[in-house]
Amino acid sequence: LFVNASEASGRKIPDTLFGIFFEEINHAGAGGLWAELVSNRGFEAGGPNTPSNIDPWSIIGDDSSVIVSTDRSSCFDRNKIALRMEVLCDTYGTNVCPDGGVGVYNPGFWGMNVEQGKQYKVVLYIRSLQSVNISVSLTGSNGFQTLATANIVAADVSNWTKTEILLEAKETNHNARLQLTTSRKGVVWFDQVSAMPLDTYKGHGFRNDLFGMLADLKPRFIRFPGGCFVEGEWLRNAFRWKETIGPWEERPGHFGDVWLYWTDEGLGYFEFLQLAEDLGADPIWVVNNGISHNDEVDTSSIFPFLQEILDSLEFAKGAPDSAWGSVRAAMGHPEPFDLRYVAVGNEDCGKKNYRGNYLKFYYAIKQAYPDIKVISNCDGSTRQLDHPTDFYDFHIYSDANTVFSMAHTFDHASRSGPKAFVSEYAVWKQDAGTGSLLAALAEAGFLIGVERNSDVVEMASYAPLFVNANDRRWNPDAIVFNSYQVYGTPSFWMQRFFSESSGGILLNSTLQANSSSLLIASAIIWKNSDNKNYLRIKIVNFGSNFVNLKISIDGLKPSSFQSLGSTRTVLTSSNLMDENSFKEPNKVAPIKSLLEKADKNIEDVLPPHSFTSFDLPIV
């Protein structure tokens, strides 16, 4: 491999090259990154009519002691359903309540993670015509092990009353539940019951461990909130941002009919923008342009959708005294968010109204916000588009050989038109399982091609990002978690090799290998936070043989090389289909070792089916 390491002969890689794509799929947000422990906190999961679906809430007690139903008596206009609990037993009556009382419990998203010494803020709304005495407890999954408890005693809650309690766990249980119980006869209504750990990233509501995984990727952008989630099977179930902002209690939530689960929308439009800011990533807002999987709005009637999106831009970017900017300011963020990208639709190119609707969006957005870059769903890599755009969206899901060979997809793409945004790529199905080494290696090969073509590809992100192991709607994914554990799949680790590339210098490098070898390589120079330069040479051996590698580096003075701190990091495993798991989270993970000698000639042996990165500090 010949590398010309003189920066002058290289080319700057776009600052935005590698980022992430967050979709509300696989309970990535609800029951995932969003730390809310209660699932279906407003009892709305069945929609606005009664009886509503209170799942996963369950009843403690039997028909002789308690009757639970739903009605539309909530104090919140946009989510009228409340839980009505009629207690038939009483400590002091003839129908004595069972020990511990009767009531309801919520197991969260396949069990709540409650940890000893940590604090949990429980908020709930209560109404009753009698005085109340209600125990609020975090318990083990069968209700027996009390982890934390407090009582709400109130003489007058005849109007809806908000109650806040701080619970501190005295023990750990990863499969806990929240209970609301009483031994007092009467009728009590509950609504909007939330339990949040106090310990979230910067108090912004993001689960620390999952946020940490995202931060590790050093994403330069975050595309959100989908994917198909943005479109919906039907428009009535699409993501509508206005229903996801403001006080959490007032958000109606919605049923995502593509991935088939309810979300209370704690992670709403504001929180996505906050997440981007916290990650130091550019937000890329994917908007619905009046098209779902099964229905479409005619271009002649698209105005309300268009206005909704212009309002969303004012919400993000407007002055704090503008109509929508003031709503953002009231949510605690007076400064505008740095939103510079809008993707019009998801995978909608070719649909009947896409072009017409897209053009309306494009011109309206450009007129109101000339600095915003618009992304089209239509692939411009092989043809000239019939509409103006800054970027074209490009998705790849295929087998490993195809993805590996797609390293050359952009070699011949037009250099004069819009730039490419590979917003979803992954090996899937048989070659990937739930996250194989094989998939990661093929993707690494593809990304080396992306790096080499980064004069035309400005952004790339893997998909999907997260999966809650209890709800695998789509395999594979980059990050797997349950209530308390998390691991990266080989594709996660693969992406980490690229996290320094954004904003780096792509060097000229030439690989001389025999034609049957399955090798691909790139070389970059990047600066770390101390402003020190590093040379990183990445090489994928997609073949099944050992490869004797000679690297010859030109363009640097001999004194530039430093053996101290020069490393080789290898991602491989004994079996191509090896995966990580909660039991073996690091079965396929990078292994770093020191390079004994770093100078202009490096010799090494690449293992079969491996990804290697050589990292050399340069002075």
Q: Which residues are catalytic?
A: 347
* Residue 464 makes contact with ligand AHR by CB under 6 A: yes
Based on CB atoms, which residue is closest to ligand AHR, 42 or 227?
Answer: 227
10 Å CB burial of residue 215 (0-12, 13-18, 19+) is: middle
Among 147-155, 223-231, 305-313, 611-619, the segment contacting ligand AHR (CB under 6 A): 223-231
Complex with ligand AHR: residue 286 or 520, whichever CB lies closer: 286
Separation between Cα atoms, residue 281 and residue 560, nearest integer Å: 33
Among 4, 14, 19, 23, interactor with ligand AHR by CB under 6 A? 23
Total Cβ atoms within 10 A of residue 291: 28
Q: Is the dihedral of CA 479, 312, 355, 293 positive or negative?
A: positive
Q: How far is the CB of 445 from ligand AHR (least distance, A)?
A: 20
Q: Does 458 bind ligand AHR (CB under 6 A)?
A: no
- Which H or E run contains 123? strand 119-128
> Does residue 424 belong to the site contacting ligand AHR (CB under 6 A)?
yes
Exactly one of 474, 487, 611, 614 binds ligand AHR (CB under 6 A); which one?
474
Across 183-249, where does the E strand assignment appear?
186-197, 221-224
Nearer residue to ligand AHR within complex by CB, 264 or 347: 347
| Contact flag: residue 225 with ligand AHR (CB under 6 A) | no
> Dihedral angle at the C-alpha atoms of 256, 259, 264, 268, nearest 10 degrees?
-80
Question: Which of helix, strand or coil describes residue 227?
Answer: coil
For ligand AHR, the nearest residue by Cβ is: 227
471 binds ligand AHR (CB under 6 A): no
Minimum distance between the CB of residue 34 and ligand AHR, rounded to whole angstroms?
Answer: 18
Span near ligand AHR by CB under 6 A; candidates 225-233, 271-279, 362-370, 493-501: 225-233
Cα–Cα distance measured from residue 280 to residue 19, given in angstroms and rounded to the nearest whole number: 11
346 vs 376, beta carbon nearer ligand AHR: 346
Closer CB to ligand AHR, residue 475 or residue 562?
Answer: 475
Work out which of 113, 179, 274, 346 binds ligand AHR, going by CB under 6 A.
346
Using CA of residue 457, residue 462, residue 464, residue 468, what is the dihedral sign? negative
Q: Residue 375 Cβ, how far from ligand AHR at the closest point, in Å?
A: 13
For the bound state, the minimum distance from the C-beta of residue 286 to ligand AHR, rounded and expressed in Å, comes to 9
- Which helix or strand (DSSP H or E) is residue 325 part of? helix 325-330
Residue 431 sits in the site that holds ligand AHR (CB under 6 A): no
Task: Assess 271 for contact with ligand AHR (CB under 6 A).
Answer: no
Nearer to ligand AHR, 346 or 610 (CB): 346
Q: Does 106 bind ligand AHR (CB under 6 A)?
A: no
Q: Does 428 interact with ligand AHR (rule: CB under 6 A)? A: no
Please state, in angstroms and rounded to a whole number, the distance separating the CA atoms of residues 138 and 105.
9
Q: Is 28 in the site for ligand AHR (CB under 6 A)?
A: no
- Here the tokens at position 67 are 């009757």
DSSP letters along 558-603, please? GGGB-STT-EEEEE--SSTT----SSSTTSS--EEEE-S--SSEEE
The interaxial angle of helices 303-317 and 354-368, nearest 10 deg, is 40
Closer to ligand AHR by Cβ: residue 426 or 518: 426
Closest CA to 86 of 105, 106, 108, 64: 64
List residues near ligand AHR by CB under 6 A: 23, 25, 226-228, 346-347, 424, 463-464, 474
